[in-house]
Structure 1
């Protein structure tokens, strides 16, 4: 067995662990995020040019799992979880492509990471016979993806926290429609409150002793690593077809999706420029424009899944580029307001017949702006969710209904419910003790 790669905390105040332990824990004991001690390097020639997404993922992730008990299962984990397409569709009018990541069960890119994480957790041995509670803070899409991935999985309970009234109606329905081992909590606050509450619970040693907990947010390596696969797969396809790196515009809020793209580039695969498209929450655009990093309270926007004022993956970004001038050179981040989101959805549907969700529309707006400024590079816009999840925003702008994918329609046909919860760390602590019984 080859030597395993150690995983350390971004805060550097706890011991290194193997990847199985990092995945099982979700968050490091010191409150930091797990990262590999070093990012492996790979050559594009190591990949099968005719392989599937699962094949690409297995090759890409092999160095991360080397020497770990999960290594022998990695190919099966990838085949089991990455069994849907992530096509890069041409947009001829824009001389661009759109990487469609919404063809999984819950119609959002979060299905990739959630299904991979669940497949890993099914194979991890547990000495504690008590159920493991997966805590999830969601701004819209993560919760449903995790719920679908872990639904009825023995020994696992899922508790989803989402900001009440700040997700789309269909997103809220998805979050509450599973039942069984999945419980949705509608929190009287914002996503940042939900994220803070989850982190507080995960680092509460007394609570962990009584209720074993883990995470399935993008703070979890088991979510982040598989998201690298679609960037590797798309960029390698472009490399074989044209011999040039692929440039990406990534809609982002919590930085997990963008980190996956950047890590693939750091590993040596053919990714060129990366631009971040944000909504009216300007924490990242302000930072990359030269201001000090300053988390703030999130504001509600049409692109609600990106309503994040304190992106937790910023810790991984700083770990990846510890020299601040270097970090600022790696990325540009741009803010897109709601009026521009509406205009982009309406104009692309009218002029080209393309229908985008509000999050994808932030990236399309940025591409449109870049074209107006004379940029002629080949860009790939990352489409993070199906527009049918946001029909109350999209349909009035395009003037007709959006067809609903079958898997989403099935979820919407189920009854749904969610329990109200105050946005307070102690309230969640006591709820977990009282409600999640052994």
Structure 2
């Protein structure tokens, strides 16, 4: 019999969980984040050089699911969730740089990968007679729409999205409120950190969980983080087979789930080189990696709104991976990019190269530009389609952007979101009101 991998909380609780419990719960009982007891190891030779993204994901994630009830379903889950391209496109004006485009899914953002995988797992874990489950999501802009699209009209599941009112783009806000049916959006009068705090408080409320079973689809959920590793593995392996060198990544970073996925792929033994975190003016991480004590702080609003996080949840998992500050600071680099630099980068690349980037991707491109020629191959991670941020990008480049068909279909629907103050008890009271 295959011994399954067990998972524990970053906060040290002794309880060991299986992957099914981890996916179903989202957050560990002690409020920590689930991590595997040890990261499994993989070798380049384990993978099919001609395989699809779904094939790469199946091979990469097999040790995490081995021995579980989902193990035999993993290939089908990956095919179902990862049925769109994540191309690594060479930049024509730089011989040493590429763009990893992660915005070709239904909601035009990288969050589609994890959300669709998580939904495919829930479809297999849930039974018709199970108590209805509520997926509770805090979003800084992109997570909510991806989760809504993935779980829309899924039987036995309701999605409740909290987002910071006025701090997401108009098109992001429309996406969040356009689904209806089993998806409800709450626009919170506060920051993303307020939304995230409210969600964690609800997930940790035993009395509320008894009345309204809750789970999460934020990157605090390991079931969403694990599949995000697949596109880093797929890109780095493709590069390795062609060039026999590791691929280095610049990752736009907010709640740290996307960057952590990249780091874990490297820690599992695959050919990922340097990892540089591109932060906006929320400088919690860049200050830490410059040598200051880790100091979460209130988030400030920026053009790269999906990265407006002052207290990134996945720092707990990063510290689990590298427990000592000196060791952790050797593993990553981080830099902050202000709004003026974001604007300048968008304008200059559109004018000089015909490349249009969303504000988040522009933070990473700005860091690439500042590096000059390093002699290393770099991949900038493009996290969202620029058309999601038309109110920012179009005035800068002086023209309208083509809208991807899936995004256009969402924008054609009516949208609605309920207002809510940024207080934990109000969310609990909201759940006490019967749904129509």
**Aligned equivalent of 1:348:** 349
1:15 aligns with 2:15: yes
**Aligned equivalent of 1:71:** 71
**Aligned equivalent of 2:409:** 410
Please report how far the alpha carbon of residue 131 of structure 1 lies from its aligned counterpart in structure 2 after TM superposition.
1.1
Please report how far the alpha carbon of residue 93 of structure 1 lies from its aligned counterpart in structure 2 after TM superposition.
1.2
Please report how far the alpha carbon of residue 94 of structure 1 lies from its aligned counterpart in structure 2 after TM superposition.
2.3
Looking at structure 2, the residues matched to 417 and 130 of structure 1 have their Cα atoms a distance apart, in angstroms, of 27
The alignment yields a C-alpha RMSD, in angstroms, of 1.0
Equivalences for 1:108-257 in 2 at 5 Å? 108-126=109-127, 129-257=130-258
**Aligned equivalent of 1:44:** 44
Please report how far the alpha carbon of residue 13 of structure 1 lies from its aligned counterpart in structure 2 after TM superposition.
1.9
Please report how far the alpha carbon of residue 436 of structure 1 lies from its aligned counterpart in structure 2 after TM superposition.
4.7
The C-alpha deviation readout for 1:364-409, integer Å capped at 9, x for no partner, is 00000111xx523210000000000000100111111110000000
**Aligned equivalent of 2:31:** 31
Looking at structure 2, the residues matched to 128 and 300 of structure 1 have their Cα atoms a distance apart, in angstroms, of 44
Which SS does the other structure have where 2:413 is aligned?
A: coil
Looking at structure 1, the residues matched to 236 and 283 of structure 2 have their Cα atoms a distance apart, in angstroms, of 28
**Aligned equivalent of 2:394:** 395
Please report how far the alpha carbon of residue 26 of structure 1 lies from its aligned counterpart in structure 2 after TM superposition.
0.2
Looking at structure 2, the residues matched to 77 and 348 of structure 1 have their Cα atoms a distance apart, in angstroms, of 38
Please report how far the alpha carbon of residue 324 of structure 1 lies from its aligned counterpart in structure 2 after TM superposition.
1.6
**Aligned equivalent of 2:57:** 57
**Aligned equivalent of 2:94:** 94
Which SS does the other structure have where 1:94 is aligned?
A: coil
Q: 2:128·2:156 contact (CA, 8 Å) conserved in 1? A: no
Label 1:238 to 1:309 Cα distance change in 2 as closer, same or farther (>3 A). Answer: same
Comparing 59-68 with 85-94, greater Cα deviation is found at 85-94
Q: 1:14·1:29 contact (CA, 8 Å) conserved in 2? A: no
Looking at structure 2, the residues matched to 379 and 13 of structure 1 have their Cα atoms a distance apart, in angstroms, of 39
Which SS does the other structure have where 1:376 is aligned?
A: coil
Looking at structure 2, the residues matched to 390 and 152 of structure 1 have their Cα atoms a distance apart, in angstroms, of 27
Which SS does the other structure have where 2:433 is aligned?
A: helix
1:433 aligns with 2:429: no
**Aligned equivalent of 2:4:** 4
Looking at structure 2, the residues matched to 289 and 128 of structure 1 have their Cα atoms a distance apart, in angstroms, of 52
Which SS does the other structure have where 2:357 is aligned?
A: coil
1:385 aligns with 2:387: no
Looking at structure 2, the residues matched to 135 and 238 of structure 1 have their Cα atoms a distance apart, in angstroms, of 37
Q: 1:14·1:30 contact (CA, 8 Å) conserved in 2? A: no
The C-alpha deviation readout for 1:44-71, integer Å capped at 9, x for no partner, is 0000000000000000000000000000
Looking at structure 2, the residues matched to 427 and 384 of structure 1 have their Cα atoms a distance apart, in angstroms, of 32
Looking at structure 1, the residues matched to 305 and 29 of structure 2 have their Cα atoms a distance apart, in angstroms, of 30
**Aligned equivalent of 1:104:** 105
Please report how far the alpha carbon of residue 92 of structure 1 lies from its aligned counterpart in structure 2 after TM superposition.
2.5
TM-score, L = length of structure 2 = 0.99
Q: 2:193·2:299 contact (CA, 8 Å) conserved in 1? A: yes
Looking at structure 2, the residues matched to 89 and 285 of structure 1 have their Cα atoms a distance apart, in angstroms, of 28
Please report how far the alpha carbon of residue 128 of structure 1 lies from its aligned counterpart in structure 2 after TM superposition.
6.6
Give aligned pairs, total.
435
Which SS does the other structure have where 1:154 is aligned?
A: coil
**Aligned equivalent of 1:335:** 336
Which SS does the other structure have where 1:334 is aligned?
A: strand
Looking at structure 2, the residues matched to 273 and 127 of structure 1 have their Cα atoms a distance apart, in angstroms, of 46
Where do 5+ consecutive residues of structure 2 fail to align?
A: none
Which SS does the other structure have where 1:92 is aligned?
A: coil
Please report how far the alpha carbon of residue 262 of structure 1 lies from its aligned counterpart in structure 2 after TM superposition.
0.3
Please report how far the alpha carbon of residue 14 of structure 1 lies from its aligned counterpart in structure 2 after TM superposition.
4.4
Where do 5+ consecutive residues of structure 1 fail to align?
A: none
